[in-house]
Structure 1
Amino acid sequence: MNTFWFYAWSLCFVSLAFVLVPLMRCFKNNHQINRTDVNTKLYLDRLHELEALYKTGLLTLEQLEAGESELGRELLQDAHISDSPSIDSLGRPLPILVSLSLPFIAVFLYTQWGAQDQILAARNQQTQPRQGIEKTIAHLETLLKENPDSGEGWTLLGRAYMQDERLDDAVRAFEKAASIDGRSPELLGRQAQALYFSGGKRWTPQLQSMIEEALASNPQELISLKLAGTAAFQEGRFEDAAMYWEQLLAALPEVNASRASVAADIKKAHQLAIK
Protein backbone atom coordinates (compact mmCIF):
# COMPACT_ATOMS: atom_id res chain seq x y z
CA MET A 1 0.00 0.00 0.00
CA ASN A 2 2.88 2.38 0.81
CA THR A 3 4.33 1.70 -2.64
CA PHE A 4 0.96 2.49 -4.23
CA TRP A 5 0.72 5.88 -2.51
CA PHE A 6 4.35 6.71 -3.37
CA TYR A 7 3.77 6.18 -7.07
CA ALA A 8 0.35 7.85 -6.92
CA TRP A 9 1.75 11.03 -5.37
CA SER A 10 4.71 10.99 -7.75
CA LEU A 11 2.37 10.89 -10.73
CA CYS A 12 0.31 13.72 -9.21
CA PHE A 13 3.36 15.96 -8.86
CA VAL A 14 4.54 15.19 -12.38
CA SER A 15 1.06 15.97 -13.72
CA LEU A 16 0.96 19.22 -11.76
CA ALA A 17 4.31 20.21 -13.21
CA PHE A 18 2.94 19.81 -16.74
CA VAL A 19 -0.03 21.99 -15.82
CA LEU A 20 1.49 24.64 -13.57
CA VAL A 21 4.70 25.43 -15.45
CA PRO A 22 2.93 26.50 -18.67
CA LEU A 23 0.26 28.19 -16.56
CA MET A 24 2.81 30.28 -14.69
CA ARG A 25 4.56 31.18 -17.89
CA CYS A 26 1.26 32.15 -19.39
CA PHE A 27 0.39 34.41 -16.47
CA LYS A 28 3.84 35.90 -16.48
CA ASN A 29 4.04 36.71 -20.14
CA ASN A 30 0.61 36.57 -21.70
CA HIS A 31 -0.87 39.75 -20.23
CA GLN A 32 2.13 41.94 -20.90
CA ILE A 33 2.97 40.50 -24.31
CA ASN A 34 -0.55 40.67 -25.62
CA ARG A 35 -1.21 44.19 -24.30
CA THR A 36 2.14 45.51 -25.50
CA ASP A 37 1.70 44.00 -28.95
CA VAL A 38 -1.75 45.50 -29.32
CA ASN A 39 -0.71 48.95 -28.09
CA THR A 40 2.35 49.00 -30.32
CA LYS A 41 0.32 48.01 -33.36
CA LEU A 42 -2.24 50.71 -32.65
CA TYR A 43 0.53 53.27 -32.15
CA LEU A 44 2.14 52.40 -35.48
CA ASP A 45 -1.18 52.44 -37.33
CA ARG A 46 -2.11 55.86 -35.96
CA LEU A 47 1.39 57.14 -36.62
CA HIS A 48 1.14 56.02 -40.23
CA GLU A 49 -2.23 57.76 -40.48
CA LEU A 50 -0.73 61.02 -39.21
CA GLU A 51 2.14 60.79 -41.67
CA ALA A 52 -0.27 60.07 -44.51
CA LEU A 53 -2.35 63.14 -43.57
CA TYR A 54 0.80 65.27 -43.39
CA LYS A 55 1.90 64.10 -46.85
CA THR A 56 -1.46 64.98 -48.32
CA GLY A 57 -1.26 68.46 -46.78
CA LEU A 58 -4.15 68.00 -44.37
CA LEU A 59 -1.80 68.40 -41.39
CA THR A 60 0.96 70.89 -40.78
CA LEU A 61 4.36 69.90 -39.41
CA GLU A 62 3.38 71.31 -36.00
CA GLN A 63 0.18 69.25 -35.98
CA LEU A 64 2.15 66.12 -36.99
CA GLU A 65 4.66 66.61 -34.18
CA ALA A 66 1.90 67.30 -31.68
CA GLY A 67 0.08 64.13 -32.78
CA GLU A 68 3.26 62.06 -32.50
CA SER A 69 3.89 63.41 -29.00
CA GLU A 70 0.35 62.59 -27.94
CA LEU A 71 0.63 59.05 -29.29
CA GLY A 72 3.92 58.62 -27.46
CA ARG A 73 2.40 59.71 -24.14
CA GLU A 74 -0.51 57.28 -24.62
CA LEU A 75 1.89 54.42 -25.37
CA LEU A 76 3.95 55.16 -22.26
CA GLN A 77 0.80 55.39 -20.14
CA ASP A 78 -0.45 52.01 -21.42
CA ALA A 79 2.94 50.47 -20.76
CA HIS A 80 2.84 51.74 -17.18
CA ILE A 81 -0.61 50.27 -16.67
CA SER A 82 0.52 46.86 -18.00
CA ASP A 83 3.34 46.78 -15.42
CA SER A 84 1.00 47.46 -12.49
CA PRO A 85 -1.45 45.00 -10.92
CA SER A 86 -4.66 44.75 -12.85
CA ILE A 87 -8.04 43.17 -12.48
CA ASP A 88 -6.87 40.27 -14.69
CA SER A 89 -4.05 39.43 -12.27
CA LEU A 90 -6.53 38.92 -9.47
CA GLY A 91 -7.60 35.68 -11.12
CA ARG A 92 -4.08 34.29 -11.17
CA PRO A 93 -4.17 32.40 -7.83
CA LEU A 94 -7.48 30.69 -8.60
CA PRO A 95 -6.34 28.18 -11.24
CA ILE A 96 -3.15 27.53 -9.28
CA LEU A 97 -5.08 26.77 -6.11
CA VAL A 98 -7.50 24.57 -8.03
CA SER A 99 -4.62 22.63 -9.61
CA LEU A 100 -2.87 22.14 -6.27
CA SER A 101 -6.06 20.99 -4.56
CA LEU A 102 -6.98 18.40 -7.20
CA PRO A 103 -4.65 15.65 -5.85
CA PHE A 104 -6.06 16.07 -2.34
CA ILE A 105 -9.61 16.01 -3.66
CA ALA A 106 -8.81 12.88 -5.68
CA VAL A 107 -7.28 11.16 -2.63
CA PHE A 108 -10.30 12.05 -0.52
CA LEU A 109 -12.73 10.73 -3.12
CA TYR A 110 -10.67 7.57 -3.62
CA THR A 111 -10.55 6.82 0.10
CA GLN A 112 -14.30 7.34 0.32
CA TRP A 113 -15.53 5.51 -2.75
CA GLY A 114 -12.61 4.29 -4.83
CA ALA A 115 -12.50 0.55 -5.61
CA GLN A 116 -14.65 -0.35 -2.62
CA ASP A 117 -16.13 -3.35 -4.36
CA GLN A 118 -12.71 -4.71 -5.28
CA ILE A 119 -11.34 -4.11 -1.80
CA LEU A 120 -14.26 -5.85 -0.15
CA ALA A 121 -14.00 -8.73 -2.59
CA ALA A 122 -10.27 -9.09 -1.90
CA ARG A 123 -10.87 -9.07 1.83
CA ASN A 124 -13.54 -11.72 1.48
CA GLN A 125 -11.21 -13.85 -0.63
CA GLN A 126 -8.53 -13.58 2.05
CA THR A 127 -10.78 -14.28 5.02
CA GLN A 128 -12.97 -17.01 3.55
CA PRO A 129 -10.19 -19.62 3.00
CA ARG A 130 -8.81 -19.01 6.50
CA GLN A 131 -12.27 -19.29 8.02
CA GLY A 132 -12.72 -22.55 6.09
CA ILE A 133 -9.44 -23.95 7.44
CA GLU A 134 -10.30 -22.94 10.99
CA LYS A 135 -13.70 -24.63 10.68
CA THR A 136 -12.06 -27.77 9.30
CA ILE A 137 -9.56 -27.83 12.16
CA ALA A 138 -12.29 -27.36 14.76
CA HIS A 139 -14.37 -30.13 13.15
CA LEU A 140 -11.44 -32.57 13.03
CA GLU A 141 -10.42 -31.80 16.60
CA THR A 142 -13.98 -32.55 17.75
CA LEU A 143 -14.05 -35.83 15.81
CA LEU A 144 -10.67 -36.92 17.18
CA LYS A 145 -11.81 -36.28 20.74
CA GLU A 146 -14.54 -38.83 20.10
CA ASN A 147 -12.32 -41.18 18.09
CA PRO A 148 -8.66 -40.55 19.01
CA ASP A 149 -7.43 -43.78 17.35
CA SER A 150 -8.14 -42.60 13.80
CA GLY A 151 -4.79 -42.36 12.04
CA GLU A 152 -6.45 -40.93 8.98
CA GLY A 153 -8.09 -38.26 11.11
CA TRP A 154 -4.76 -37.22 12.63
CA THR A 155 -3.20 -37.08 9.16
CA LEU A 156 -5.98 -34.82 7.91
CA LEU A 157 -5.62 -32.65 11.00
CA GLY A 158 -1.87 -32.37 10.43
CA ARG A 159 -2.42 -31.26 6.85
CA ALA A 160 -4.96 -28.67 8.02
CA TYR A 161 -2.46 -27.41 10.60
CA MET A 162 0.12 -27.03 7.81
CA GLN A 163 -2.29 -24.92 5.78
CA ASP A 164 -2.91 -22.76 8.84
CA GLU A 165 0.87 -22.55 9.45
CA ARG A 166 0.54 -24.17 12.86
CA LEU A 167 3.70 -26.14 12.21
CA ASP A 168 4.40 -27.51 15.71
CA ASP A 169 0.82 -28.75 15.94
CA ALA A 170 1.22 -30.36 12.52
CA VAL A 171 4.35 -32.22 13.68
CA ARG A 172 2.49 -33.64 16.70
CA ALA A 173 -0.51 -34.60 14.57
CA PHE A 174 1.66 -36.50 12.06
CA GLU A 175 3.56 -38.20 14.89
CA LYS A 176 0.24 -39.33 16.36
CA ALA A 177 -0.90 -40.65 12.99
CA ALA A 178 2.38 -42.56 12.54
CA SER A 179 2.04 -44.13 15.97
CA ILE A 180 -1.39 -45.44 14.97
CA ASP A 181 -1.07 -46.37 11.26
CA GLY A 182 2.68 -46.89 11.04
CA ARG A 183 5.42 -44.98 9.28
CA SER A 184 4.15 -44.93 5.71
CA PRO A 185 6.34 -43.17 3.09
CA GLU A 186 3.83 -40.36 2.52
CA LEU A 187 3.34 -39.81 6.23
CA LEU A 188 7.09 -39.74 6.80
CA GLY A 189 7.41 -37.16 4.03
CA ARG A 190 4.70 -34.96 5.55
CA GLN A 191 6.19 -35.28 9.02
CA ALA A 192 9.66 -34.39 7.74
CA GLN A 193 8.21 -31.40 5.88
CA ALA A 194 6.53 -30.12 9.05
CA LEU A 195 9.73 -30.61 11.08
CA TYR A 196 11.82 -28.84 8.43
CA PHE A 197 9.68 -25.70 8.38
CA SER A 198 9.03 -25.63 12.13
CA GLY A 199 12.80 -25.87 12.71
CA GLY A 200 13.57 -22.77 10.65
CA LYS A 201 14.43 -24.69 7.45
CA ARG A 202 17.48 -26.41 8.96
CA TRP A 203 18.35 -29.82 7.55
CA THR A 204 19.19 -32.27 10.31
CA PRO A 205 20.34 -35.92 10.46
CA GLN A 206 16.88 -36.80 11.75
CA LEU A 207 15.26 -35.34 8.64
CA GLN A 208 17.75 -37.07 6.36
CA SER A 209 17.01 -40.37 8.07
CA MET A 210 13.26 -39.91 7.70
CA ILE A 211 13.59 -39.06 3.99
CA GLU A 212 15.86 -42.06 3.35
CA GLU A 213 13.38 -44.31 5.14
CA ALA A 214 10.49 -42.96 3.09
CA LEU A 215 12.35 -43.27 -0.24
CA ALA A 216 13.54 -46.78 0.64
CA SER A 217 9.91 -47.86 0.84
CA ASN A 218 8.76 -45.72 -2.12
CA PRO A 219 11.45 -44.15 -4.35
CA GLN A 220 8.74 -42.03 -5.98
CA GLU A 221 7.36 -40.46 -2.81
CA LEU A 222 6.77 -36.92 -4.09
CA ILE A 223 6.82 -34.93 -0.83
CA SER A 224 10.11 -36.47 0.29
CA LEU A 225 11.78 -35.91 -3.10
CA LYS A 226 10.68 -32.29 -3.31
CA LEU A 227 11.67 -31.55 0.30
CA ALA A 228 15.09 -33.21 0.02
CA GLY A 229 15.84 -31.33 -3.21
CA THR A 230 14.74 -27.99 -1.77
CA ALA A 231 16.82 -28.46 1.39
CA ALA A 232 19.90 -29.51 -0.61
CA PHE A 233 19.58 -26.49 -2.88
CA GLN A 234 19.23 -24.10 0.07
CA GLU A 235 22.43 -25.55 1.58
CA GLY A 236 24.38 -25.24 -1.68
CA ARG A 237 24.40 -28.98 -2.40
CA PHE A 238 23.36 -28.42 -5.98
CA GLU A 239 24.27 -31.89 -7.31
CA ASP A 240 22.14 -33.53 -4.62
CA ALA A 241 19.31 -31.09 -5.35
CA ALA A 242 19.41 -31.94 -9.06
CA MET A 243 19.42 -35.67 -8.26
CA TYR A 244 16.33 -35.47 -6.03
CA TRP A 245 14.49 -33.20 -8.45
CA GLU A 246 15.27 -35.47 -11.41
CA GLN A 247 13.70 -38.34 -9.49
CA LEU A 248 10.74 -36.09 -8.71
CA LEU A 249 10.33 -35.15 -12.37
CA ALA A 250 10.38 -38.81 -13.38
CA ALA A 251 7.70 -39.58 -10.78
CA LEU A 252 5.37 -36.76 -11.80
CA PRO A 253 2.59 -37.58 -14.30
CA GLU A 254 3.03 -36.13 -17.77
CA VAL A 255 -0.01 -33.89 -17.31
CA ASN A 256 1.20 -32.43 -14.02
CA ALA A 257 1.40 -28.63 -14.22
CA SER A 258 4.49 -28.42 -12.00
CA ARG A 259 6.76 -30.36 -14.37
CA ALA A 260 7.95 -27.20 -16.11
CA SER A 261 9.00 -25.51 -12.87
CA VAL A 262 10.76 -28.67 -11.65
CA ALA A 263 12.66 -28.93 -14.95
CA ALA A 264 13.71 -25.27 -14.59
CA ASP A 265 14.94 -25.94 -11.04
CA ILE A 266 16.97 -28.91 -12.27
CA LYS A 267 18.62 -26.80 -14.98
CA LYS A 268 19.47 -24.07 -12.48
CA ALA A 269 20.93 -26.60 -10.01
CA HIS A 270 23.16 -28.10 -12.74
CA GLN A 271 24.36 -24.63 -13.75
CA LEU A 272 25.25 -23.73 -10.16
CA ALA A 273 26.95 -27.08 -9.59
CA ILE A 274 29.38 -26.36 -12.46
CA LYS A 275 30.48 -22.99 -11.04
Structure 2
Amino acid sequence: MIITKFWFFIGCILISVLMALVIMVPWFKRSRSNGDNQLMSINVKNFKARLVELEQDVDDGLINHNQYHHQKTELERQLLQAAKVDKLKIQANQTSKIVLLILIPLLSIGLYLFINNSNKNLFDLWQAQNKYHQIADDLLTNKISSPPAGSVNNNEDMQALVAVMQTNVYQNAYDGERWLKLAELFSAMGATDSSALAMARAYQVEPNNIEVASQYAQALFFSNGGRLTPQIRAIINDILQKEAQNQTAQMMLIIGETSEANYNEALKWANKLKQQIKNQPMSAVNKLNALNSIDALIKEIKYKQQTSINP
Protein backbone atom coordinates (compact mmCIF):
# COMPACT_ATOMS: atom_id res chain seq x y z
CA MET A 1 0.00 0.00 0.00
CA ILE A 2 2.88 2.39 0.84
CA ILE A 3 4.49 1.75 -2.55
CA THR A 4 1.18 2.32 -4.32
CA LYS A 5 0.66 5.61 -2.49
CA PHE A 6 4.23 6.67 -3.29
CA TRP A 7 3.78 6.17 -7.03
CA PHE A 8 0.37 7.83 -6.89
CA PHE A 9 2.02 10.82 -5.21
CA ILE A 10 4.83 10.91 -7.80
CA GLY A 11 2.24 10.71 -10.58
CA CYS A 12 0.38 13.70 -9.13
CA ILE A 13 3.62 15.74 -9.07
CA LEU A 14 4.51 14.82 -12.67
CA ILE A 15 1.03 15.66 -13.93
CA SER A 16 1.14 19.01 -12.10
CA VAL A 17 4.53 19.87 -13.60
CA LEU A 18 3.35 18.84 -17.06
CA MET A 19 0.23 20.99 -16.76
CA ALA A 20 2.34 23.91 -15.54
CA LEU A 21 4.67 23.57 -18.54
CA VAL A 22 1.77 23.31 -20.98
CA ILE A 23 0.29 26.51 -19.56
CA MET A 24 3.47 28.49 -18.98
CA VAL A 25 5.73 27.74 -21.99
CA PRO A 26 3.46 29.50 -24.54
CA TRP A 27 3.22 32.38 -22.11
CA PHE A 28 7.03 32.74 -22.02
CA LYS A 29 7.17 32.69 -25.81
CA ARG A 30 4.53 35.38 -26.07
CA SER A 31 6.44 37.43 -23.51
CA ARG A 32 9.63 37.42 -25.57
CA SER A 33 7.93 38.26 -28.85
CA ASN A 34 5.49 40.80 -27.47
CA GLY A 35 7.92 42.32 -24.98
CA ASP A 36 11.29 42.49 -26.73
CA ASN A 37 10.22 42.94 -30.34
CA GLN A 38 7.11 45.12 -30.06
CA LEU A 39 8.32 47.49 -27.34
CA MET A 40 11.75 47.98 -28.92
CA SER A 41 10.33 48.44 -32.41
CA ILE A 42 8.05 51.22 -31.15
CA ASN A 43 10.93 52.99 -29.39
CA VAL A 44 13.20 52.72 -32.43
CA LYS A 45 10.44 53.99 -34.69
CA ASN A 46 9.91 57.03 -32.45
CA PHE A 47 13.67 57.64 -32.36
CA LYS A 48 13.93 57.62 -36.18
CA ALA A 49 10.91 59.90 -36.56
CA ARG A 50 12.37 62.40 -34.11
CA LEU A 51 15.77 62.20 -35.85
CA VAL A 52 14.13 63.04 -39.19
CA GLU A 53 12.46 66.03 -37.54
CA LEU A 54 15.82 67.27 -36.23
CA GLU A 55 17.46 66.92 -39.66
CA GLN A 56 14.57 68.84 -41.16
CA ASP A 57 15.05 71.60 -38.55
CA VAL A 58 18.74 71.82 -39.49
CA ASP A 59 17.86 72.09 -43.18
CA ASP A 60 15.30 74.78 -42.43
CA GLY A 61 17.84 76.73 -40.35
CA LEU A 62 15.78 76.42 -37.15
CA ILE A 63 18.71 74.89 -35.25
CA ASN A 64 22.45 74.80 -35.83
CA HIS A 65 24.69 71.72 -36.01
CA ASN A 66 25.76 71.93 -32.39
CA GLN A 67 22.12 71.95 -31.25
CA TYR A 68 21.40 69.09 -33.65
CA HIS A 69 24.18 66.92 -32.22
CA HIS A 70 23.17 67.77 -28.66
CA GLN A 71 19.50 66.82 -29.19
CA LYS A 72 20.50 63.70 -31.17
CA THR A 73 22.70 62.60 -28.27
CA GLU A 74 19.78 63.18 -25.88
CA LEU A 75 17.47 61.05 -28.07
CA GLU A 76 20.03 58.24 -28.13
CA ARG A 77 20.30 58.40 -24.35
CA GLN A 78 16.51 58.23 -24.00
CA LEU A 79 16.36 55.25 -26.37
CA LEU A 80 19.01 53.39 -24.35
CA GLN A 81 17.21 54.22 -21.10
CA ALA A 82 13.87 52.99 -22.49
CA ALA A 83 15.55 49.75 -23.60
CA LYS A 84 16.89 49.21 -20.07
CA VAL A 85 13.48 49.86 -18.51
CA ASP A 86 11.76 47.48 -20.95
CA LYS A 87 14.35 44.80 -20.23
CA LEU A 88 13.82 45.18 -16.48
CA LYS A 89 10.04 44.92 -16.94
CA ILE A 90 10.42 41.79 -19.04
CA GLN A 91 12.78 40.23 -16.52
CA ALA A 92 10.38 41.03 -13.67
CA ASN A 93 7.50 39.56 -15.67
CA GLN A 94 9.50 36.41 -16.40
CA THR A 95 10.49 36.10 -12.74
CA SER A 96 6.85 36.18 -11.67
CA LYS A 97 6.06 33.48 -14.20
CA ILE A 98 8.92 31.31 -12.98
CA VAL A 99 7.59 31.70 -9.44
CA LEU A 100 4.14 30.72 -10.70
CA LEU A 101 5.65 27.75 -12.53
CA ILE A 102 7.06 26.53 -9.23
CA LEU A 103 3.94 27.36 -7.22
CA ILE A 104 1.55 25.32 -9.39
CA PRO A 105 3.16 21.94 -8.49
CA LEU A 106 3.66 23.05 -4.88
CA LEU A 107 0.02 24.06 -4.54
CA SER A 108 -1.03 20.76 -6.14
CA ILE A 109 1.11 18.83 -3.68
CA GLY A 110 -0.26 20.86 -0.79
CA LEU A 111 -3.82 20.26 -1.93
CA TYR A 112 -3.16 16.53 -2.24
CA LEU A 113 -1.67 16.39 1.26
CA PHE A 114 -4.59 18.40 2.66
CA ILE A 115 -7.14 16.08 1.05
CA ASN A 116 -5.16 13.03 2.11
CA ASN A 117 -5.06 14.21 5.73
CA SER A 118 -8.71 15.28 5.73
CA ASN A 119 -9.91 12.01 4.18
CA LYS A 120 -7.34 9.50 5.34
CA ASN A 121 -9.65 6.56 4.58
CA LEU A 122 -10.48 7.67 1.04
CA PHE A 123 -7.52 5.99 -0.61
CA ASP A 124 -8.15 2.80 1.38
CA LEU A 125 -11.75 2.83 0.18
CA TRP A 126 -10.59 3.14 -3.44
CA GLN A 127 -8.37 0.12 -2.95
CA ALA A 128 -11.17 -1.81 -1.26
CA GLN A 129 -13.52 -0.91 -4.13
CA ASN A 130 -11.01 -2.25 -6.60
CA LYS A 131 -10.64 -5.50 -4.63
CA TYR A 132 -14.18 -6.18 -3.39
CA HIS A 133 -16.52 -4.40 -5.80
CA GLN A 134 -17.73 -7.52 -7.60
CA ILE A 135 -17.85 -9.64 -4.44
CA ALA A 136 -19.96 -7.01 -2.66
CA ASP A 137 -22.36 -6.76 -5.59
CA ASP A 138 -22.72 -10.55 -5.79
CA LEU A 139 -23.42 -10.78 -2.06
CA LEU A 140 -26.05 -8.04 -2.18
CA THR A 141 -27.82 -9.57 -5.19
CA ASN A 142 -27.81 -13.15 -3.80
CA LYS A 143 -25.48 -14.46 -6.50
CA ILE A 144 -23.27 -15.80 -3.73
CA SER A 145 -24.05 -16.45 -0.06
CA SER A 146 -20.56 -15.82 1.32
CA PRO A 147 -17.27 -14.28 0.16
CA PRO A 148 -15.02 -16.58 -1.91
CA ALA A 149 -12.39 -18.52 0.02
CA GLY A 150 -9.27 -16.48 0.65
CA SER A 151 -10.85 -13.11 -0.17
CA VAL A 152 -11.40 -12.12 3.47
CA ASN A 153 -8.51 -13.17 5.67
CA ASN A 154 -8.72 -10.86 8.67
CA ASN A 155 -10.80 -8.22 10.40
CA GLU A 156 -9.31 -5.45 8.23
CA ASP A 157 -10.46 -7.25 5.07
CA MET A 158 -13.92 -7.71 6.58
CA GLN A 159 -14.19 -4.00 7.38
CA ALA A 160 -13.11 -3.16 3.85
CA LEU A 161 -15.75 -5.49 2.39
CA VAL A 162 -18.46 -4.00 4.61
CA ALA A 163 -17.45 -0.47 3.52
CA VAL A 164 -17.68 -1.49 -0.14
CA MET A 165 -21.08 -3.12 0.43
CA GLN A 166 -22.35 0.08 2.05
CA THR A 167 -21.07 2.13 -0.88
CA ASN A 168 -22.74 -0.29 -3.30
CA VAL A 169 -26.06 0.05 -1.47
CA TYR A 170 -25.83 3.86 -1.49
CA GLN A 171 -25.14 3.76 -5.23
CA ASN A 172 -28.31 1.64 -5.66
CA ALA A 173 -30.36 3.52 -3.09
CA TYR A 174 -33.73 2.47 -4.54
CA ASP A 175 -33.05 -1.27 -4.45
CA GLY A 176 -34.85 -2.61 -1.37
CA GLU A 177 -33.22 -6.04 -1.63
CA ARG A 178 -29.77 -4.52 -1.25
CA TRP A 179 -30.86 -2.55 1.81
CA LEU A 180 -32.32 -5.76 3.22
CA LYS A 181 -29.04 -7.62 2.75
CA LEU A 182 -27.16 -4.75 4.36
CA ALA A 183 -29.55 -4.89 7.33
CA GLU A 184 -28.90 -8.63 7.69
CA LEU A 185 -25.17 -7.97 7.62
CA PHE A 186 -25.43 -5.31 10.34
CA SER A 187 -27.62 -7.63 12.40
CA ALA A 188 -25.05 -10.44 12.14
CA MET A 189 -22.37 -7.98 13.28
CA GLY A 190 -24.47 -6.94 16.27
CA ALA A 191 -25.01 -3.40 14.96
CA THR A 192 -28.72 -3.36 15.79
CA ASP A 193 -29.25 0.36 15.31
CA SER A 194 -27.65 0.34 11.86
CA SER A 195 -29.61 -2.80 10.99
CA ALA A 196 -32.89 -1.15 11.95
CA LEU A 197 -32.10 1.94 9.87
CA ALA A 198 -31.18 -0.18 6.83
CA MET A 199 -34.33 -2.26 7.26
CA ALA A 200 -36.48 0.87 7.49
CA ARG A 201 -34.87 2.20 4.32
CA ALA A 202 -35.55 -1.12 2.55
CA TYR A 203 -39.24 -0.92 3.44
CA GLN A 204 -39.39 2.76 2.50
CA VAL A 205 -38.14 2.15 -1.04
CA GLU A 206 -40.05 -1.12 -1.60
CA PRO A 207 -43.15 -1.22 0.64
CA ASN A 208 -44.88 -3.65 -1.76
CA ASN A 209 -42.09 -6.21 -1.56
CA ILE A 210 -43.50 -8.91 0.74
CA GLU A 211 -40.09 -10.27 1.78
CA VAL A 212 -38.87 -6.80 2.68
CA ALA A 213 -42.09 -5.99 4.53
CA SER A 214 -42.03 -9.31 6.42
CA GLN A 215 -38.46 -8.87 7.63
CA TYR A 216 -39.06 -5.25 8.56
CA ALA A 217 -42.16 -6.22 10.54
CA GLN A 218 -40.19 -8.96 12.31
CA ALA A 219 -37.39 -6.53 13.18
CA LEU A 220 -39.89 -4.08 14.66
CA PHE A 221 -41.83 -6.88 16.36
CA PHE A 222 -38.89 -8.42 18.21
CA SER A 223 -37.29 -5.06 19.02
CA ASN A 224 -40.60 -4.21 20.69
CA GLY A 225 -40.48 -7.33 22.87
CA GLY A 226 -42.87 -9.39 20.78
CA ARG A 227 -45.73 -6.91 21.05
CA LEU A 228 -47.91 -5.55 18.28
CA THR A 229 -47.80 -1.78 17.81
CA PRO A 230 -50.18 0.03 15.43
CA GLN A 231 -47.33 0.35 12.94
CA ILE A 232 -46.55 -3.38 13.08
CA ARG A 233 -50.22 -4.30 12.74
CA ALA A 234 -50.54 -2.04 9.71
CA ILE A 235 -47.56 -3.71 8.02
CA ILE A 236 -48.83 -7.22 8.86
CA ASN A 237 -52.31 -6.43 7.56
CA ASP A 238 -50.78 -5.08 4.35
CA ILE A 239 -48.76 -8.29 3.95
CA LEU A 240 -51.82 -10.50 4.50
CA GLN A 241 -53.83 -8.51 1.98
CA LYS A 242 -51.19 -9.26 -0.62
CA GLU A 243 -50.47 -12.82 0.54
CA ALA A 244 -53.23 -14.26 2.75
CA GLN A 245 -51.24 -17.38 3.71
CA ASN A 246 -48.03 -15.62 4.73
CA GLN A 247 -46.91 -17.71 7.71
CA THR A 248 -44.47 -15.11 9.07
CA ALA A 249 -47.25 -12.56 9.41
CA GLN A 250 -49.60 -15.13 10.96
CA MET A 251 -47.00 -16.23 13.55
CA MET A 252 -46.42 -12.62 14.60
CA LEU A 253 -50.17 -12.20 15.11
CA ILE A 254 -50.35 -15.41 17.16
CA ILE A 255 -47.45 -14.41 19.42
CA GLY A 256 -48.53 -10.78 19.64
CA GLU A 257 -52.17 -11.50 20.47
CA THR A 258 -51.07 -14.04 23.08
CA SER A 259 -48.75 -11.53 24.75
CA GLU A 260 -51.68 -9.08 24.93
CA ALA A 261 -53.96 -11.80 26.40
CA ASN A 262 -56.18 -11.77 23.30
CA TYR A 263 -56.33 -15.57 23.44
CA ASN A 264 -59.37 -16.08 21.24
CA GLU A 265 -57.78 -14.00 18.49
CA ALA A 266 -54.50 -15.88 18.93
CA LEU A 267 -56.30 -19.26 18.72
CA LYS A 268 -58.14 -18.14 15.59
CA TRP A 269 -54.88 -17.41 13.81
CA ALA A 270 -53.23 -20.58 15.19
CA ASN A 271 -56.03 -22.84 13.95
CA LYS A 272 -55.99 -21.08 10.59
CA LEU A 273 -52.24 -21.70 10.32
CA LYS A 274 -52.71 -25.35 11.34
CA GLN A 275 -55.28 -25.89 8.58
CA GLN A 276 -53.00 -24.17 6.12
CA ILE A 277 -50.13 -26.53 7.06
CA LYS A 278 -52.39 -29.56 6.59
CA ASN A 279 -53.23 -28.42 3.05
CA GLN A 280 -49.69 -27.43 2.20
CA PRO A 281 -47.73 -29.82 -0.02
CA MET A 282 -44.58 -30.95 1.84
CA SER A 283 -42.86 -34.11 2.92
CA ALA A 284 -44.66 -36.21 5.53
CA VAL A 285 -41.88 -35.70 8.07
CA ASN A 286 -41.83 -31.95 7.69
CA LYS A 287 -45.61 -31.74 7.83
CA LEU A 288 -45.72 -33.87 10.99
CA ASN A 289 -43.09 -31.70 12.68
CA ALA A 290 -44.89 -28.51 11.69
CA LEU A 291 -48.24 -29.82 12.96
CA ASN A 292 -46.71 -30.96 16.25
CA SER A 293 -45.20 -27.49 16.71
CA ILE A 294 -48.49 -25.69 16.02
CA ASP A 295 -50.40 -28.13 18.29
CA ALA A 296 -47.95 -27.40 21.10
CA LEU A 297 -48.44 -23.66 20.53
CA ILE A 298 -52.25 -24.04 20.58
CA LYS A 299 -52.03 -26.07 23.77
CA GLU A 300 -49.89 -23.38 25.41
CA ILE A 301 -52.32 -20.62 24.40
CA LYS A 302 -55.27 -22.57 25.79
CA TYR A 303 -53.38 -23.15 29.03
CA LYS A 304 -52.68 -19.44 29.41
CA GLN A 305 -56.30 -18.67 28.61
CA GLN A 306 -57.54 -21.13 31.23
CA THR A 307 -55.06 -19.82 33.80
CA SER A 308 -56.24 -16.26 33.23
CA ILE A 309 -59.83 -17.33 33.85
CA ASN A 310 -59.08 -19.52 36.88
CA PRO A 311 -55.85 -18.21 38.39
TM range (shorter): 0.3 to 0.5
TM-score by length of 2: 0.39
Task: State the TM-score, normalizing by the size of structure 1.
Answer: 0.44
